[in-house]
Amino acid sequence: MTRIPAARVETRSALEEALARLAELRSMVVVAAAALRQQNSDLDADIARVLRRSVAGGIAEQIERLRRL
């Protein structure tokens, strides 16, 4: 039976923790964007669009990159 080095296990655990946190943050951004859109103000809709495309999209990209490691 092959043992996985402790450092590798710790790295994998840290990576999984980071992925979970990024997923949480992305969800928060999506909820905030939806709340802004619901307010139905022109400026709020623009801010919501930026949050979804730039912030949530950027977080989603980082999640995918980290999952490929």
Strands (E), the chain: none
Query: How many separate domains does the chain show?
Result: 1
Dist. CA 56–CA 48, nearest whole Å: 10
Q: Please indicate whether residue 56 or residue 5 has the higher confidence score (pLDDT).
A: 56
Residue 2 has pLDDT above 70, yes or no: no
Domain that holds residue 61: 15-67
**Residue at 51 is within a domain:** yes
Q: What is the pLDDT of residue 59?
A: 93
pTM of the model: 0.72
**Residue at 19 is within a domain:** yes
**Residue at 61 is within a domain:** yes
**Residue at 5 is within a domain:** no
pLDDT digits (tens, 9 = 90+) for 20-69: 999 999 999 999 988 888 888 778 888 888 888 889 999 999 999 988 87
**Residue at 2 is within a domain:** no
Residue 1 has pLDDT above 70, yes or no: no
